[in-house]
Chain A
Amino acid sequence: MNPVSLCPVCLISEPSLKELSAHLVERAGQSDPGHIMWLNRNVTSKKLDTDGLSSKFSEIMRYSDLKRWFVDIFVRRFFGEPAHRFIRLMQKPTKELLAGYAIEHHHFLKQWVKSCAYILAKTDSEEVAQYEMENMSTEYFGWNGLPSHHEYLLQMGEAAGISREQILNSKPLGKTEDSIALWRKIARESHWLLILSAMHPLELIANKRIRKYGGTYGYFDPSILSDGSIPEAAARFLYQGYSADQSHSEDALEFISRYSQELDMVEECQEIFLASVDAFDLYLLARIERGDLLKGKL
């Protein structure tokens, strides 16, 4: 495959980073909100010409260890100073936040397994297929006689004060819907390695080693698992993700690192990840927004 550059907003392919930069400058010049918001959040809010943006972009994409590049981008975005607002609130979560988390994450997980299924359907790699089957089972259907993470999530929602029917019958908030739309598009239209690069590094969110990687906080303060400040079912759900997502996310980074070099797709994998990180940021805000909507109702 010839390497290409992928626009992290509209996912169109350009022949090089220089041409991708020209595309972004052109779309920003037309005041397209999506391209401008992406540039503001990920590169700079100060207008640059094509050469200036291309040079900034090259800096962002530079790496000596590709796995570490993914981790560093993720840690800076969600666990840097200041950490994402959801991460700060998760240090001592309220029942409303946990309930909001349960509702929006239900919708996320429904898309998650579909994305995994697309990877499974499109890949010829046995190890990747095996990884996805295990992941789908763990997340949504149950594995080795244990309930799925989705079931643990529903139990957390119930313990926080909303019924599983309310969760299952809910409609996602606009932010969740917008984020899912991107992941759905990636799943339908992209190469399996790009779907994998967009989705699985997101599991870094619950990685136990996040502070060792430079995060100001972990996903949550581990003391909440045992200090009685959150319902037992919430502690059980958080612990499941905490123990599983480390191996999931790091195995995925190993696949991305190896296959992207074999298939000459490194830059595309980086760019689709940048697109996905932006969607994930928005989705985490939806968990907060849902929690705010539940204030006084639980």
Chain B
Amino acid sequence: MREVICLKVNYEGCALCDATWGSYYRTLEGSKLFFCCSICADAFENMIRRVREEKAWNRVDAVEISGNYSMGRTCSATSGSDEVRYFFKHENGTITEFKIL
């Protein structure tokens, strides 16, 4: 049986900021995700890449995000039974601050 890969996010709107404006999609971790714009998609993609690097995970199953651009975002991510909490900020999609909590 083929493994179904699907990244769970906690927002119904843009996967990063929850806005429902826009019409931008990007496939990440096997899931076609909705973003309001390419900047949010870049930030989300770079954030996932950083989590994978920091934790040496080969996939991320779920991400839960709270916060915003100016305050920064506090998140938790899971991969199988592993979980990590972290904080990050981005500038035009590039991660400028990343801390494991």
Chain A residues packing against B (C-beta within 8 Å)? 28-33, 36-37, 39-40, 45-47, 85, 174-175, 281, 285
Chosen A-B contacts, 9 in total, with CB atoms closer than 8 Å, are: A31-B22, A33-B38, A33-B39, A36-B22, A36-B36, A45-B13, A45-B20, A46-B13, A85-B70
Q: Are A45 and B70 in contact (CB under 8 A)?
A: no
Contact pick for B21, options A47, A174, A175, A281, CB 8 Å: A47
- A28/B18 in contact, CB under 8 A: no
Q: Determine whether B24 belongs to the interface, using a CB cutoff of 8 Å to chain A.
A: yes
Whether A31 and B19, one on each chain, are in contact in the complex, defined by CB atoms closer than 8 angstroms, is no
B residues neighboring A (CB under 8 Å): 13, 17-24, 35-40, 70-71, 91-92
If A45-B13, A85-B70, A174-B91 touch, does A32 touch B20 (CB 8 Å cutoff)? no
Whether A31 lies near B24 (C-beta < 8 A) is yes
Q: Which single residue of chain B is at the shortest CB-CB distance from A285?
A: B70
B21, B71, B92: the one within 8 Å of A40 (CB)? B21
Report B-chain residues with C-beta under 8 Å of the C-beta of A46.
Answer: 13, 19-20
Contact call B21/A39, Cβ cutoff below 8 A: yes
Q: How far is the CA of A223 from the CA of B95 in the complex (A)?
A: 37
Q: Is the CB of B21 within 8 A of A36?
A: yes
Contacts of A31 in B (CB 8 A): 21-24, 35-38
Cβ–Cβ contact B37 & A45, under 8 A: no
Give Cα A33–Cα B24 distance, bound, in whole angstroms. 11
Residue in chain A with minimal CB distance to B39: A33
- Contact check: which of B19, B70, B71, B92 meets A36 at CB < 8 Å? B19
Q: Which of B20, B21, B91, B92 has most A Cβ within 10 Å?
A: B21
Using CB atoms, name the residue of chain B closest to A85: B70
Q: Cβ of B24: which chain A residues have Cβ within 8 Å of it?
A: 31
Add 4 more A-B contacts to A29-B22, A30-B23, A36-B19 (CB < 8 A). A36-B36, A45-B13, A45-B21, A47-B19
